[in-house]
Amino acid sequence: MKVSDCFIPTLREVPAEAEIPSHQLLLRAGFIRKLGAGIYTYLPLAWRVIGKIEALLKDEMDSIGCGEIRMPTLHPQELLEETNRWDVDVVYKLKDRREASFALGFTHEEVITDIARRDFRSWRDLPRLLYQVQTKFRDEPRPRGGLIRTREFIMYDAYSFDRDDAGMELSFQKFKTAYSRVFNRMGLPFVIAEADGGAIGDLDNNEFVVLSPSGEDTILICRETGYAANVECCPVLPPDPADAPIATNGNGNGNGDKPLEIVSTPGARTIDEVAGMLGTAPMHLVKTLIYLADGAPVAALVRGDHEVNEVKLRRLLNVAELFLADDTTVERITGAPTGFAGPVGLIGPRVIADHALSVMRNFITGANQADAHYVHVNVGRDFAPTEFADLRNALPGDPSPDDSRYLLTEARGIEVGHVFKLGTKYSAAMNATFTDENSHLQTIQMGSYGIGLGRTMAAAIEISHDGNGIIWHPAIAPFQVVIVVADWRDPAGLESGQALHDALEIRGIDALLDDRDERAGVKFKDADLVGYPVRVVVGKGLANGFLEIRARRDAASSREVPVLEAADAIAALLIELRDGPSEQQAAAA
RNA sequence: CGGGGCGUAGCUCAGCUUGGUAGAGCGUUGCGUUUGGGACGCAAAAGUCGCAGGUUCGAAUCCUGUCGCCCCGACCA
């Protein structure tokens, strides 16, 4: 392929709409163009990268015996109603000319389960693994970051069907291993994090996360044990009672319980305002949040400097719907305007206290009346929570859930893949059963597994770029080698470049010949911007029989090689680049 | 959905406060010179100032509404 034949519209300036590096570079290097918020066209270079990622995936799917299929994008309303997912808020809906309703596919559990219930009839039909690569549609509340979060995106999604738990576990592990191989092969450092299944399922599930400041997810990591979890579900161990003296005292320094006192705090509604007014720190306060859980009021208590984790609360309460009560409801339940709620004298709601409260003494809470707070509140004496539980978001510095000797650190991450055990969530709802050896009807055990291809491409850029542009790993680079003919008017140069290009193609190396009638500087800038792993320059050295070869990631790697040895040298360099992570990647990891 | 910001030439932006009929750089086109890190000169094309109302003799500029985009938050299989 020649650059002059390939559509690569590079931009000199950074488009104003792009903030994060991958978004800027994808636009500048001519990979994507925006049609609307979260809707993008993949231009030739991007499409080639997507194709490379897809090919790696297909290779690994073949190796675990997972077959490729292609499911419809149009999903009939009745199908989604079987699993109560017609009214999921991200669903795009449309009607046909006969007023029949359809959803644009946002995930394909229902469609694949429909196949399963029709065709997987016997235990002999299981296990079965299937996948597809297809566009998904989700009406995201807020698309962002270029390809990081879009409303229409290319997703690889796979589904497993097993006869029992053990089988499901085996399938789950197969995909985890396959995904690890895929990301390793593309040189993408990742962590496997414990995660929340959200609406898909609430059994075991893991996210494959690429750590990057541009990521949307907060991940807690233990360097020592390798533990990682999304903040949504990272458990917090109950505090050691020995730590009690640290988290004590409303505004005094005595050790005993002090008498409950009410103080005036006019206008102070937030934790910071109250702490400021009373001359203490947020950690000595207790936040009382009133939630409505399937309509019933619940008070959640956490330390002032902690945050309630709604995923944990929802699971604890085992309710479908959970949201913060509005001001009117808060006032009805607590008798005070929002900002002055407290557990003392609170009648009605179930009161759930975070474990941290078990070691707090003489703390501050709202007094359930306007402009007033209690100080020197103590659990047991002044109020009794319905129960203590793990209610808060984990924080850096918290002990690792799998070994309390070590502490967690926090990082941002991009969720590039997600693996779920579904159990019988969909198969039971849709009556997908099979007959076992004993002629008993059993429900199929399912799993679902996904990788966002566009997002993976963006993540690869986030962790591998420099001031000049992208630095692709050879496994997913749009082209592995660019051959820059410095002087396009020189027939010998063009001929030599073309010959090298052809020699590389014969070896199965993707090469791109920059034959444009541009000045050499322009071609160099573009080559750096696009980020081809290897650059060959056909230039001044050609008269003496030499070409210049260098790795994109390392300017100092530039060297002259004889024309006849160039293809060998390039092949060797590509292997070196494939096997060793770049410094940027290593640093990011 | 809440908060903030922005819509002026293909791109990046100025002009708006103080209304007088639209500019720069880059890019594009042509000619010439140049030719290893986004060259130079000359010439040229290119904008219903997001859209709709309103105020005014006159609106890119002021007012109202509306649409779109970006960021933060909420939300997110």
Q: Gap from A217 CA to B2 C1', in Å?
A: 21
Which nucleotide minimizes the distance between its C1' and the CA of A136? Answer: B77
ipTM: 0.94
pLDDT for the residue A581: 55
Structure tokens at A313: 């609360």
pLDDT for the residue A255: 59
Residues A45 and A171 sit within 8 Å (Cβ to Cβ): no
Q: Gap from A107 CA to B65 C1', in Å?
A: 39
Residue closest to A411 by CA, chosen among A214, A583, A236:
A214
Residue closest to A160 by CA, chosen among A151, A152, A169:
A169
Tell if A107 CB is < 7 Å from nucleic strand B: yes
- Reading chain A (589 residues) residue by residue, the pLDDT tens digits are 999 999 999 999 999 899 999 999 999 999 999 999 999 999 999 999 999 999 999 999 999 999 999 999 999 999 999 999 998 889 999 999 999 999 999 999 999 999 999 999 999 999 999 999 999 999 998 899 999 999 999 999 999 999 999 999 999 999 999 999 999 999 999 999 999 876 556 678 999 999 999 999 999 999 999 999 999 889 999 988 776 544 444 444 445 788 999 999 988 888 888 888 999 988 999 999 998 888 888 999 999 999 999 888 888 888 877 888 888 888 888 888 888 899 999 988 899 999 999 999 999 999 999 899 999 999 999 999 999 999 999 999 999 999 999 999 999 999 999 999 999 999 999 999 999 999 999 999 999 999 999 999 999 999 999 999 999 999 999 999 999 999 989 999 999 999 999 999 999 999 999 999 999 999 999 999 999 999 999 999 999 999 999 999 999 999 999 999 999 999 999 999 998 755 544 554 4
**What architecture (CATH level 2) is domain A43-71+106-234+410-462?**
2-Layer Sandwich (3.30)
Strand partners, A135: A154
Which nucleotide minimizes the distance between its C1' and the CA of A324? Answer: B74
Residues A102 and A94 sit within 8 Å (Cβ to Cβ): yes
Which nucleotide minimizes the distance between its C1' and the CA of A218? Answer: B76
pLDDT for the residue A248: 45
Q: Gap from A519 CA to B34 C1', in Å?
A: 10
Q: Answer positive or negative: Cα dihedral of A350, A356, A360, A364.
A: negative
pLDDT for the residue A418: 94
Structure tokens at A16: 């104003």
pLDDT for the residue A198: 65
What CATH number does domain A241-389 carry, 3.90.1150.10, 3.40.50.2300, 3.30.70.260, 3.90.960.10? 3.90.960.10
Positions on chain B within 7 A of a protein C-beta: 1-2, 6, 11-13, 25-27, 34-39, 68-77
Q: Gap from A12 CA to B45 C1', in Å?
A: 22
Residues A381 and A367 sit within 8 Å (Cβ to Cβ): no
| Dist. CA A287–CA A364, nearest whole Å | 9
Tell if A197 CB is < 7 Å from nucleic strand B: yes
Q: Gap from A542 CA to B40 C1', in Å?
A: 28
Tell if A522 CB is < 7 Å from nucleic strand B: yes
Residues A517 and A3 sit within 8 Å (Cβ to Cβ): no
Q: Strand B within 7 Å of which CB atoms in A 226-255?
A: none
**What architecture (CATH level 2) is domain A471-583?**
3-Layer(aba) Sandwich (3.40)
Q: Gap from A519 CA to B30 C1', in Å?
A: 19
Tell if A489 CB is < 7 Å from nucleic strand B: yes
Burial of residue A263 (CB within 10 Å: 0-12, 13-18, 19+) is: middle
DSSP state of A285: B
Which nucleotide minimizes the distance between its C1' and the CA of A232? Answer: B76
Residue nearest to nucleotide B13 (CA to C1'): A16
Q: Gap from A325 CA to B36 C1', in Å?
A: 67
Tell if A548 CB is < 7 Å from nucleic strand B: yes
Tell if A526 CB is < 7 Å from nucleic strand B: yes
Q: Gap from A17 CA to B56 C1', in Å?
A: 36
pLDDT for the residue A272: 85
Distances in whole angstroms, Cα of residue A497 to Cα of each of A482, A500, A513, A515, A572: 10, 5, 7, 9, 19
Tell if A136 CB is < 7 Å from nucleic strand B: yes
Query: Domain map of chain A by residue range?
Result: 43-71+106-234+410-462, 241-389, 471-583
Which nucleotide minimizes the distance between its C1' and the CA of A23? Answer: B70
pLDDT for the residue A244: 55
pLDDT for the residue A317: 87
Tell if A89 CB is < 7 Å from nucleic strand B: yes
Tell if A12 CB is < 7 Å from nucleic strand B: yes
Q: Gap from A452 CA to B13 C1', in Å?
A: 35
Backbone φ and ψ for A578, nearest 5 degrees, come out as -70, -40
Separation of first and last alpha carbons in chain A: 34
Count CA within 13 A, CB hemisphere, residue A208: 26
Tell if A13 CB is < 7 Å from nucleic strand B: yes
> b/e per residue, A378-389, with b = 16+ CB within 10 A?
bbeebbebeebb
Distances in whole angstroms, Cα of residue A317 to Cα of each of A296, A320, A321, A385, A502: 11, 9, 10, 14, 65
Tell if A19 CB is < 7 Å from nucleic strand B: yes
pLDDT for the residue A200: 59
Burial of residue A41 (CB within 10 Å: 0-12, 13-18, 19+) is: exposed
| Placement of tokens 């001929």 in the chain | A495
